[in-house]
Chain A
Amino acid sequence: MTSSINPDRLSPALRTEALEQLLTERGLVDPAVMDKFISTYENDVGPLNGAKVVAKAWTDPEYRARLLAEGTGAIKELGFAGPQGEHIVVLENTAALHNVVTCTLCSCYPWPVLGLPPSWYKDPVYRARIVREPRTVLAEMGLELVADVEVKVWDSSSEVRYLVLPLRPAGTEGASEEELTALVTRDMMVGVAR
């Protein structure tokens, strides 16, 4: 739901263009630096990073123990660190427990392992309701949890960021770390899939 849109309102695309002109003319931004930021988050920093962390945890019990005890350091071992990743806590799903992460105040998200947040994570529907009726919201998003699975919702209201360690899928005993990486989705690592 959004409020009715004022027809005189200038589009954000045109206002972004205007702001970039104003700042560039005065030497306050360098469009090449902007291009680099955009390219980094379009190409380099995304959920594949988190998937590598998860697949390693699925195949290496010592890494898994380090990841759960001190997430930030274990994630950094794989080379992933940076803005919105000062302190990352990893939440372990089990057969009896499901974790799901939100940020009701803005849309805080663990950028170094998941990249920038997807549209549903930033949507008022998710931010407002996942902390009030998570089982209903998850079902609307396609994840039906049986009643005896405990649900924990995490509202990222400080600089701590959360990453869900999903359950390793059944039947993947012989899979390599690389094959497992391909099975891990962004939605599993936020907790809207399992």
Chain B
Amino acid sequence: MPLDLNVIMGQINDMAGTLDSDEQARRFDALDNAWSNLDSVEVNERYDTAITSFLLAETSEDYRGTTPLTGVPDTYSVAASDGSFILPDRHAPLRFFLLNTSTVYLKYGAGSTAEISTLPDIRYQEADLIVPDDPQRTPIDGTILGFLRAIEELKAACTCLEGREGATVALQDGTLVLWQVQGQSDLVKDWILEQFIDVLDEFRKRDQPVASYISAPGATELMNMLRVAVCDYPEMGKAIDCKHCRSQPGRVPTCDVLPNIPDRTLLTQIAKLQPGERTAVYHSRSKIMRDYDRDRTGDQKICFFYLNAGREIARVEIPRWVAADVDQLELVHSVIYDQCSLGRGYPVVLQEAHEAAVLSMSDRRIIEVAIEQALSNVGIMPLHTGKDGSKRGRFV
């Protein structure tokens, strides 16, 4: 059944009609005012007692502080990796999953060079298809495979940079915070985070900075910080308590005066972050950071800054040990900006890693056919499920 465009067009018009430009202008004026009058010390004091329902950015620097680009090193190298996978399919004749991890190494300056490789890995043993040591025998599903892919990607970049000297940066696409482990059992969470943080620690041992790049970030931790800043509870002598505030009948929370926008819009339209500039380094107050802080020094926690990468405001995540080293922080800042310049707005090393890792429909079909042939060779005739068959041979 085709999409009913008549219905959709009506809904799209209704959606556009909800954008009241006067109301938006008022909310952006309030935001401008909140940003201009922000008192970083007071925000941090409010944090001490605040009970909020959203994620907050935290820094001991000025929240509005910016750092310009200090220059790109003449010689540097950058490694990135990316991965794609084929999920275990209960309709397939064999249960397996495939991870395809690409690695790209680019060296700039004297002796510039490039290395691009991929490593496909099919896992099919029973032990590979369930979470190890799990009495519940939790199967490897799409979410867990996503974690395994993140680990393999990080390992690939780590291996690629082994023994490389000079200014090097490992770059990953997306976040270094495996947020979704919070929804998993403790066993799965520990299993995944231990492997992931072990690799991050390997970078730390080598003094090679690692970072991740998030294009068009949807995060609102800075905006939420402003919500704390404009809250009127402290003026009433009360600690900030979002749940309490929103449960008051007839009360319109003070922070609702701020527009519902991501941090990147704040930084573009209000803070006016210039090309090449980065914000202060912020720490996340999320609970998951406690799981990252395995050695209880805080160095393993992930922090972030925003960067005007030329075409967009990007979010860059780094372990705290990178942020604490001014030289490494500067290197990450400048390398990512240069990579975005070379890649017309997106790091070229990530672009090539993605291109190398992607599994096309044709690749997937080849694997499927190869498995069926392999089974036939050992005398097994693959049987397709009814649903799978209905998709292969569609009829009316």
Q: Do A and B bind each other?
A: no
Chain B residues within 8 Å of A, Cβ to Cβ:
none
